[in-house]
Amino acid sequence: MTDVLSRYEAALTGLADKGLLRHLPHPNTAGLLDFSGNDYMGLAHRPELVDAAIKAGRKYGAGSTGSRLLSGNTPAHEAFETRIAADKGTETALVFSSGYQTNAACIAALLDKHTLGAEPLVFADKLNHASMHLGCTLAEAHQLRYRHLDLNHLEELLRKHAGEDRPRVILSESVFGMDGDRADVAALQDLAVRHGALLYVDEAHATGVFGPHGYGLCEAVELAPTTVAMGTMSKALGVSGGYVACSRIVRDYLINKSGGFIFSTAPSPLVVAAALRAWELLPGLDAERRGLLARAERLRAGLRDMGLNPGASTTHIVPVILGTPERAMAAKDALAARDILTSAVRPPTVPQGTSRLRLGLSAAHTDEDISRLLAALAGL
Ligand SMILES: Cc1ncc(COP(=O)(O)O)c(C=O)c1O
């Protein structure tokens, strides 16, 4: 027993030696200026969401009481799924308790080699989120990783394996959470269809911010039945949870074969009703989206003017790539000393040599907030 604990302790010491030890931050009870969150549309504190949760709680209870397949299916879950499918242009949708769970549970099931009759060829963007990797690991699927956003490289790999009689699956985020750059979803889907591949797109960071009505980069694309659009309720929707928008066959398959769906209690009706309310608000937030993206552009220009590197960001997520974990931590601490909260992101979350501050902008930030942030960054 002691030996096990000493090994954990040694692992922690090893992380600390490399500047990679993680700590929970202090709760932000002092109302500090916060660029460390993902509440991109500033909805987490909107009274409408809280009221929707209270109303649903009174009607359906605080908890769902079981798996959707047992006692956990409420009209709140079904209403939200109907709305997601309608707005994403898919036949159906299915909700989960977290985005991480959604990816792990869905990808594991979709890559199942017993169902597919052979080990699938999995083509994955190099910078996909950890939860997508977990889905692949659970399915024991080897990933053929293409250079970040490089669809020529993806096509090269698809062609290279064209002769193999194995099912094909492409995995990508649409807005990448650590870099704030975007995939061309229409081109990805085109490639997928031409090569007979299933396309799985994670819209965690695009939902709420992009798309004609704010429903993500997939919203502007007529989705093929072989495209699965995943998203989260935890970021711009301001609540928690995840979903997939997909064909009826995929939904029925997940309901029957995804362990993470079958063996987990359904999300609370409080959460689902609040997320649905946020979803309903999105089309009315065009002005907020424009303001958010304009402030992100101003921040990037300001960073470049002072010689700092915002990478390839074109969205509301703006990294400041600093290199070493020590530089990233020092920058975070210096900003914290000025009452500004940011995230320092280090390997293995991002590649070696690209440790960074990750600045998550929100529609609730003001021009003055950006000025304050830039002034603080200038002092680094
Ligand atoms: C791209 C991506 N997918 C999925 C997730 C997991 O979502 P959740 O936080 O809702 O579990 C995250 C979380 O940061 C993410 O960045």
Which one of 3.40.50.1110, 3.40.640.10, 1.20.120.330, 3.30.470.20 gives the CATH number of domain 47-282? Answer: 3.40.640.10
Q: How far is CA 291 from CA 287, 304, 319, 362, in A?
A: 6, 20, 19, 9
Determine the 3-state secondary structure of 213 from DSSP.
coil
CA nearest to 211, candidates 159, 276, 285: 285
| Residues 185-200 pLDDT 10s | 999 999 999 999 999 9
C-alpha span between 32 and 328 (Å, rounded): 20
pLDDT band at 348 (very low <50, low <70, confident <90, very high): very high
Q: Which spans in the chain are helix H?
A: 2-17, 47-60, 75-88, 99-110, 113-116, 130-138, 151-160, 185-194, 248-257, 259-262, 269-281, 286-305, 325-336, 367-378
CA-based nearest residue to 361, from 296, 314, 304, 301? 296
The model carries a pTM of 0.96
Token couple for 224: 């093929």
DSSP string, 176-192: -TTT--B--HHHHHHHH
- Across all residues in the chain, what is the average pLDDT? 97
Residue ranges of the domains in the chain? 47-282, 285-378
CB half-sphere exposure, 35, CA atoms < 13 A: 32
What pLDDT is attached to residue 93?
A: 98
> CB count, 10 Å around CB of 138?
17
- Tell me which residue has tokens 């209870």: 61
Distance 372 CA to ligand 1 centre (A): 28
Pairwise CA distance, residues 223 & 201, whole Å: 11
The count of other CB atoms within 10 Å of the CB of residue 86 is 12
Q: Decide: 232 in ligand 1 pocket, CB within 6 A.
A: yes
Each residue's pLDDT tens digit, 143-187: 999 999 999 999 999 999 999 999 999 999 999 999 999 999 999
- Asked if residue 1 has pLDDT above 80, the reply is no
Considering the domain delimited by 285-378, tell me its CATH architecture.
Answer: Alpha-Beta Complex (3.90)
- The response to whether residue 92 sits with its C-beta less than 6 Å from ligand 1 reads no
How does pLDDT run across 31-60, given as a tens digit for each residue? Answer: 899 999 999 999 999 999 999 999 999 999
> In whole angstroms, what is the distance from residue 121 CA to residue 144 CA?
7
Q: Which atom of ligand 1 is nearest to the CA of 176?
A: 1
* pLDDT surpasses 80 at 298: yes
> Does the C-beta of 98 come closer than 6 Å to ligand 1?
yes
In the three-class reduction of DSSP (H, G, I as helix; E, B as strand; rest coil), residue 355 is classed as: strand
Amino acid, res. 239: V
What digits encode the pLDDT tens for the residues 97-150?
999 999 999 999 999 999 999 999 999 999 999 999 999 999 999 999 999 999
Residue nearest to ligand 1 atom 3, measured at CA? 204
